[in-house]
Homo-oligomer: A and B are copies of this chain.
Amino acid sequence: MKSETKNQRIVLASRPVGAPVAANFRLEEVAITEPAEGEVLVKVHYLSLDPYMRRRMDDRASYAPPVALGAVMVGGTVGEVLESRHAEFKAGDFVEGMGGWQSHAILKGEGLRKINPADAPISTALGILGMPGMTAYTGLLTIGKPQAGETLVVAAASGAVGAAVGQIAKLKGCRVVGIAGGPAKTRYLTEQLGFDAAIDHHAEDLPQALAAVCPKGIDIYFENVGGKIFKAVLPLLNPFARMPVCGLISHANETSLPEGPDGVPDLFRAVLTKKLTIRGFIVHDFADQAPAFRKDMQDWIRQEKIRYREDIVEGLAQAPDAFIGLLQGRNFGKLLVHIAA
């Protein structure tokens, strides 16, 4: 019974300076409240952990306002409707929405998407069939514009977005090179996902190693990471190369600008002389592509043309540690928290 159950939630206890630590989070138990008119009460089954959450912990402008101190950490969730005061939802429905880091969420009906557990495991609504999959699909196709025979490089390549980017680019006829951390991940890229080559970003000679597997240069660099990987990519970019900028996880925990020299003039010289296109985006910019994405991606999964991998952590209390690990590259596949009954 709901009345005997508490809502377990994780709130932002303090803002991190640099890398987040456990003390930035606080687990609380509070009473479950009633949905108001137009709202539903959702029992969360899965919480998605994603790099963008790091920015929301800072008190500075980004896509969206920061999480307030003491407020529930923001996050995408899938769960089951327990009570509905919105005409489109009824108890027992499964829904995806921004439930946050908690076991029970009160959400406005407008922000929810009904999902059918018969179509695919409900967790995929947070991964390959959800925000990360659609981020890969829209950023790659709309900004990257892959053409058969071109070379694509993606870093964080075994992650939720990167793995989808590389596999879609393969379907479009590209040579695909992934960059990931450690031999298990690089083997996964070439042996399981069909990437043409994979480089360990720990390699001492990263620029040379990358150049060796990109003999015809790089036409598309899907940017998830920044930092030393971007530096290795830049000299290899071909004229008219495209760079969808999706994330910068290597800079997530930086508290000051890196030491010089200032690379901005060299970057702009490359933009100018190579006629590069660099474009930042978030998935919401391409909301109108959602139906095309869902159709294509469901087809590709059904036809086994695209695979996905989930890294599932058990219990809400583990979320902070799992999130800290995400920023260090500790996860292997789409990171989810399963929130026990």
Contacts and interface: CB of A to CB of B under 8 A. Distances in A.
Interface of A: 55, 61-63, 223, 226-227, 230, 245-248, 251, 254, 256-282, 285
Tally of this chain's copies: 2
Contact of A278 (B246, B262, B278): B278
B274 A280 contact: yes
B273 A63 contact: yes
Contacts of A263: 257, 262-264
B256 A271 contact: no
Contact of A261 (B248, B257, B265): B257
A75 to B, nearest CB: 19
Q: Which 3 A-B residue pairs are closest in the complex by CB-CB distance?
A: A260-B260, A257-B261, A271-B280
B260 A247 contact: no
Nearest to A223: B268
Contacts of A230: 264, 268
A281 B278 CA distance: 12
Nearest to A278: B278
A247 B263 CA distance: 17
Contact of A265 (B61, B62, B251, B265): B251
Given A273-B280, A280-B271, A285-B275, A258 B261 contact: yes
Contact of A279 (B223, B260, B262, B276): B276
Contact of A248 (B262, B272, B280, B282): B272
21 contacts: A245-B268, A246-B272, A254-B265, A257-B260, A257-B262, A257-B263, A257-B266, A258-B260, A258-B262, A258-B264, A259-B260, A263-B264, A267-B267, A268-B280, A271-B278, A271-B279, A272-B280, A275-B279, A277-B278, A278-B279, A279-B279
A266 B280 CA distance: 13
A61 B273 contact: yes
Contact of A277 (B247, B251, B273, B277): B277
Contact of A267 (B62, B264, B277): B264
A281 B63 CA distance: 28
A246 B275 CA distance: 9
A100 to B, nearest CB: 21
Nearest to A55: B273
